[in-house]
Structure 1
Amino acid sequence: MKHLRTLSYVAEIARSGSIRRAAEVLHITPSALTRHVQDLEYELGTPIFERIAQGMRLNAAGELLVRHIRDQVADLERVRSQIADLSGVRRGHVALAGSQAFVNQVLPEEVELYRARFPQVTFTVQVRDHAQAVAALTAFEADLALVLQPPPSADLQVLFACRQPVCAMMRAGHPLARQPGPVRLRDCLAHALALPDRSLALRHHLDRALARAGAQRPAMESGSLEFLRGLVLREDVLSFQVPSGIPDDPRLHARPIDGRDLDTMTMILGQLRGRMLPVAAAKFADQLASSLNRRYGAGDHASGHSQ
């Protein structure tokens, strides 16, 4: 454990970029932290940091060491969780990365359900879009990611996947809310649009279809889906969202975009490929996958995780 503490010091220096900033976070003196690094470099027989004007930067040996550190920390958390599980008390921590479409309703409901059974399990939920969520997995900042259309990645192991239509979201009194069924994209363009910005996977999915339909500059763009929902409730603007991102609010109305105009999007629950999850995270993944299957049904593919 003592050796692992020194490795955690190295990881913090790499994150902070300097001895001084890392020492502040770790609550030790810079000189003591420097000695830990020097002792480790002596033991390894090679420097692990480049000393630069701005601070400290990992060299190639340091990069290898930090990857090892992340593996060790993740493995220790898994073992701690398994040891606690032997006593019949489910403890541990679950770190989630989720697209905005899932943090309003889906993830809060699932976390509440899990903690009702295992109240000693703690959670961290990061709002991350498609590429950023996969990066959080590879950096061991998240155990699980629930995202829309993440980019292809050999690092991503899919635990569950399904398809969701993109819906035009409007307030209940909007003119298009009076008609049932799917709506054509050209009919949406007759109204002011409030679009997610290009930091979100949803916008990238929409852009080509909007360009084909001859869309003009939107009335509003935002990286916050919560802001867009709030705007929809106040003005006769249209926005777009998948069903899981539309709260159960009688003031809101949603109509799926006609499949001739826009394809469905893929929802994926995934983990880092090859990583053995801590018990708490693995059990939560099972619960979440089962719940998503009940809510939305499996789409192109779905697979369980191996523990």
Structure 2
Amino acid sequence: MDLKQLAALVTVADAGSVTKAARILHLVQPAVTRQIRTLEDELGVPLFERTRQGMVLTGAGEVLVARARRAINELQRARAEIRPDPGEVTGTVTVGMLESVIDLLVEPLAAVVQARYPQVELRFLCAYSGHLQQWLDVGDVDVSLLYNMDSTQSVAITPMLRERLWAVAPPEAGLQGEEPVSWETVLRHPLVMPVAGHGLRDLIDKAEPSVADRVTVAAETNSMALQKRLVLSGRGWTVLPAAGVAADVSAGRLSGAPLTGPEIARTVVLGLQRGTWTPPPVQAVAVELLRLVRKAVASGAWPSATLLSEDFDEVALR
């Protein structure tokens, strides 16, 4: 198989039609059909089901398309990084973001990268910490924020900060960020909880067995935005990372305070693919991300957070 065949495969999969794919690729339809059939003959399996609704990937086709996308992306990155001017940072960097830090970090990171490295294209993927680590493992993400993660054979971890979780309530509850609230108070209210298996739910359940046993669950969701919306609608209180509610509390949309008795905290880390060489654009974006994290903590924009090192932006890329 060659790159043209893989490009045809991915384009047909995205377009759902050989005719549309041919227009996108600026080829005649028989040429695209021939590339797909050559791939199928080489592999000995059908990659598409030909239906009245269009071209639908088979199971084998889905596997190959995922690999083909990765190969094409890597080649595009290689082309961008092989440049006549070694002083100019160029390329595409995919950044993994925790949902709880989107409001705090995504726009500032995009702004600083655009200003300092205009030839770097950023892509953001948001998910649970566990999913982000999996994407980092397989190379779908170049650099990611994660929490409560350790280094693995494929991922190098740099601990950045420790962050306390907050109880979050409607504004009329009057919770104050400077005044911790006890679990005894929180448990008087039904709670909007993350779904089982979510990292935050695991933190809450493991913090103290007596707490998990006494929670009255009003609703469960896998979305932080929905947790906050349900609190606003009067369904109950919730528990969230401070970074995820700082803007809402400051604006008066919600009230919140650090939890105590027991205190619950998470360690936020930076994850990079482990290897002997980190591409210059990934290095540049990772350093800017680390600097923004440090600035957010120092300024108080990331409340209830404590830095674990003052120089982790240098340590991370050693």
TM-score (norm 1): 0.75
Structure 2 vs 1, CA of residues 234 and 159 (structure 1 numbering), >3 Å: closer, same or farther? Answer: same
2:46 paired residue number: 51
Shift of 1:265: 1.0
Structure 2 vs 1, CA of residues 19 and 223 (structure 1 numbering), >3 Å: closer, same or farther? Answer: closer
- Gapped runs of 5+ residues in structure 2? 50-56, 298-305
User: In the TM superposition, what are the counterparts of 1:237-252 in structure 2 within 5 Å?
Assistant: 237-248=236-247, 249-251=250-252, 252=254
Shift of 1:222: 2.0
Measured in 1, the distance between the counterparts of 2:98 and 2:154 equals 18
1:182 paired residue number: 180
For the Cα contact (< 8 Å) 1:20–1:30, is it kept in 2?
no
For the Cα contact (< 8 Å) 1:102–1:245, is it kept in 2?
yes
Measured in 1, the distance between the counterparts of 2:276 and 2:9 equals 22
Instruction: Report whether the alignment pairs 1:212 with 2:210.
Output: yes
Partner SS, residue 83 of structure 1? coil
1:140 paired residue number: 139
For the Cα contact (< 8 Å) 1:146–1:268, is it kept in 2?
yes
Measured in 2, the distance between the counterparts of 1:267 and 1:109 equals 18
Shift of 1:188: 0.8
Shift of 1:190: 0.8
Task: Among all aligned residue pairs of Structure 1 and Structure 2, give the percentage whose two residues are the same amino acid.
Answer: 17
Shift of 1:101: 0.7
Partner SS, residue 46 of structure 2? strand
Instruction: Report whether the alignment pairs 1:80 with 2:63.
Output: no
Structure 2 vs 1, CA of residues 215 and 112 (structure 1 numbering), >3 Å: closer, same or farther? Answer: farther
Partner SS, residue 140 of structure 2? coil
Partner SS, residue 266 of structure 1? strand
Measured in 1, the distance between the counterparts of 2:11 and 2:210 equals 48
For the Cα contact (< 8 Å) 1:160–1:289, is it kept in 2?
no
Partner SS, residue 132 of structure 1? helix
Instruction: Report whether the alignment pairs 1:297 with 2:295.
Output: no
User: In the TM superposition, what are the counterparts of 1:155-166 in structure 2 within 5 Å?
Assistant: 155-166=154-165
User: In the TM superposition, what are the counterparts of 1:85-234 in structure 2 within 5 Å?
Assistant: 86=86, 88=88, 90-150=89-149, 153-174=152-173, 177=175, 180-198=178-196, 200-209=198-207, 211-213=209-211, 214-234=213-233
Partner SS, residue 190 of structure 1? coil
Letter in 2 for 1:166: L
Measured in 2, the distance between the counterparts of 1:19 and 1:34 equals 14
Structure 2 vs 1, CA of residues 253 and 49 (structure 1 numbering), >3 Å: closer, same or farther? Answer: farther
For the Cα contact (< 8 Å) 2:218–2:235, is it kept in 1?
no
Shift of 1:174: 0.6
Shift of 1:169: 1.9
- Gapped runs of 5+ residues in structure 1? none
Letter in 2 for 1:109: P
**Higher mean C-alpha deviation, range 289-298 or range 146-155:** 146-155
For the Cα contact (< 8 Å) 2:70–2:140, is it kept in 1?
no
Shift of 1:244: 1.9
TM-score (norm 2): 0.73
Letter in 2 for 1:154: Q
Shift of 1:11: 6.2
Structure 2 vs 1, CA of residues 242 and 216 (structure 1 numbering), >3 Å: closer, same or farther? Answer: closer
**Higher mean C-alpha deviation, range 21-30 or range 272-281:** 21-30
**Higher mean C-alpha deviation, range 194-203 or range 30-39:** 30-39
For the Cα contact (< 8 Å) 2:157–2:272, is it kept in 1?
yes
For the Cα contact (< 8 Å) 2:94–2:124, is it kept in 1?
yes
Measured in 1, the distance between the counterparts of 2:204 and 2:10 equals 39
Structure 2 vs 1, CA of residues 212 and 131 (structure 1 numbering), >3 Å: closer, same or farther? Answer: same
Measured in 2, the distance between the counterparts of 1:192 and 1:290 equals 38
Measured in 2, the distance between the counterparts of 1:266 and 1:283 equals 23
Partner SS, residue 290 of structure 1? helix
For the Cα contact (< 8 Å) 1:169–1:255, is it kept in 2?
yes
Measured in 2, the distance between the counterparts of 1:66 and 1:234 equals 40
Structure 2 vs 1, CA of residues 9 and 188 (structure 1 numbering), >3 Å: closer, same or farther? Answer: same
Shift of 1:197: 2.3
Structure 2 vs 1, CA of residues 205 and 268 (structure 1 numbering), >3 Å: closer, same or farther? Answer: same
Structure 2 vs 1, CA of residues 277 and 76 (structure 1 numbering), >3 Å: closer, same or farther? Answer: farther
1:257 paired residue number: 259
* Cα offsets for 1:60-90 (capped at 9, x unmatched): xx97x986984674265145135275364x4
